[in-house]
Structure 1
């Protein structure tokens, strides 16, 4: 049974990281290694990590000298990973005790897979306070359908749900470090555009912690959604001649614009001129002239106020 590397980026997770590490140590399978990459935490995250992993050689800890972002940390883990298979676990989320055993069982003999996708339980505060399960199945395995879902931010699977073939992830150049938010959405769209071989376990094996959607996160999401349009609109619209697929992509990008405009009106004073110009130039790629001018006029009036 091939071991699976678990890569955990951390930043100021002093209140959750012990539970996250404990969920790794309690795995029913011992066929795993774990790389923790701390992004220059200013709280007790490092101390809590060291107290938990002392004398446990299955763990490797990397400490960044400056804050570089979660994707930078994930890419460090990707470079250091010596296993053929890996998953990413955030510093406030939790694995089911049989997560590695379940995934290893599905992966046995499947050297053709680029991605193995599980389901995830969504919880608030503690794992006994379950909100919902991110469900997926083999019936979802249509590249265009999945891309449209991610563009609309209808999340089919979470960051921790995927077990990656390292060679495939390296080939698509890992995580995009320019994304402060929506990192997993960007990665999954980029991966799906390569038509990966995907299988689904059909069961939940990890917990995702619900966090507060703060103003800072909305601003980061505004930047991320704008980046998604800029990065993928031209590529996706040029990737097919199928009229239905083109219409589905077009509708998904329109949905993105509506989301971005909503965030803009909520947080306009938090955007600098560069961000505003980037937003307007990006939506101009999609909207016809009259629609663009209506948005531009509305935002200009808002700025004047």
Structure 2
């Protein structure tokens, strides 16, 4: 039984796939298997996977007969995984050198927690690299294990599947799987993190998260972003079925509102003609899951009004930010003139 099973779903990634696989198979820590899932990719990804499997027995390949999407492609790899811990690696991302050794050592130090959260850095097509802006959350976490209730700051990190290692028996016990859709990480990550009895962290960059020049699927403009509402419905259904998690409802209610408003505010997500509909759908979801007696604060108050009020608030916010930028430019200009005069 290997220590790690790395599940790699693949679709239209032939230009990045070799680098991804090499980053796993070339690790100094070799007690690992790769479960590579060809999601009926129309390019050469499937052939590349077969090539790697032919020369390295640690690679197993699944060829799906039809394209099922990222989440269900990961599901297809789950039953084949035999490792103590699961890692999900997107096929255009890479592990950093020494990552698996560092993960194995930290898991041993913390006696195999349910979840180990590690750090990542974004890598850009023009050559730049930027570490996770919330890396301090990992640096300030305790050396011992904890629960999300004991350290809720852990949920402030990017709620994605690929910055964590999961104890396979824990995943099997709860039956965690990925739903269809574009925001499939949301109804996986929240239930996993809220259910984990022991969480540990590793304050080390173990993964490079590639930022493609043309962006990823979530940065394209279409109605697919309405999927975020369905995924939060799944999160609330999970919590509703477990009374011990009821105390998380106010937090999840706020998080859902903030996430949906963030999607709405980004200029490259929704077609302009669909933004009002998205706002109204968000507002309905927000009202439907508002906990009894909960107060609505800050920007989330816009969800209690109409779309016109939301637009006015957005315009006002932009005007305030522009005034602040102008004030900074004026102060800097005055400072330069003062220095030049002196």
Normalised to the residue count of structure 2, the TM-score between the two structures is: 0.70
* 1:95/1:205 contact within 8 Å kept: yes
* 1:120/1:157 contact within 8 Å kept: no
Q: Quote the residue 1:199 is aligned against.
A: 200
Task: Measure the CA separation in 2 of the matches of 1:220 and 1:144.
Answer: 35
* 1:8/1:88 contact within 8 Å kept: yes
- 1:171-182 aligned at under 5 Å gives the runs 171-181=173-183
- 1:259 and 2:271 equivalent? no
Structure with bigger RCO (C-alpha 8 Å, 6+ apart): 1
- 1:136-285 aligned at under 5 Å gives the runs 136-137=137-138, 139=141, 143-144=148-149, 154-156=156-158, 158-181=160-183, 183-211=184-212, 212=215, 217=220, 219=222, 222-233=225-236, 248-262=251-265, 266-267=270-271, 269=273, 281-285=284-288
Task: Measure the CA separation in 2 of the matches of 1:291 and 1:122.
Answer: 32
* 2:280/2:307 contact within 8 Å kept: no
Q: Residues 96 and 220 from structure 1, CA distance in 2 versus in 1: closer, same or farther, beyond 3 angstroms?
A: farther
* 1:118/1:203 contact within 8 Å kept: yes
SS of the counterpart of 2:41? Answer: coil
Q: CA shift at 1:79, angstroms?
A: 0.7
Q: Which 5+ residue runs of structure 1 have no aligned equivalent?
A: 300-305
Task: Measure the CA separation in 2 of the matches of 1:164 and 1:215.
Answer: 24
Q: Which 5+ residue runs of structure 2 have no aligned equivalent?
A: 291-295, 297-301, 312-342
Task: Measure the CA separation in 2 of the matches of 1:215 and 1:100.
Answer: 28
Task: Measure the CA separation in 2 of the matches of 1:110 and 1:55.
Answer: 35
Q: CA shift at 1:122, angstroms?
A: 1.1
SS of the counterpart of 1:48? Answer: helix
Task: Measure the CA separation in 2 of the matches of 1:195 and 1:2.
Answer: 22
**Greater shift after overlay, 164-173 or 132-141?**
132-141
SS of the counterpart of 1:122? Answer: strand
Task: Measure the CA separation in 2 of the matches of 1:96 and 1:187.
Answer: 24
Aligned residues: 290
Larger Rg: 2
**Greater shift after overlay, 216-225 or 28-37?**
216-225
Task: Measure the CA separation in 2 of the matches of 1:159 and 1:220.
Answer: 23
Q: Residues 276 and 173 from structure 1, CA distance in 2 versus in 1: closer, same or farther, beyond 3 angstroms?
A: farther
Q: Quote the residue 1:123 is aligned against.
A: 123
Cα deviations by residue, 1:94-146 (Å, 9 ceiling, x for unpaired): 011211111111222654510111111211127x5212235242628562587
Normalised to the residue count of structure 1, the TM-score between the two structures is: 0.78
* 1:280/1:296 contact within 8 Å kept: no
* 2:69/2:180 contact within 8 Å kept: no
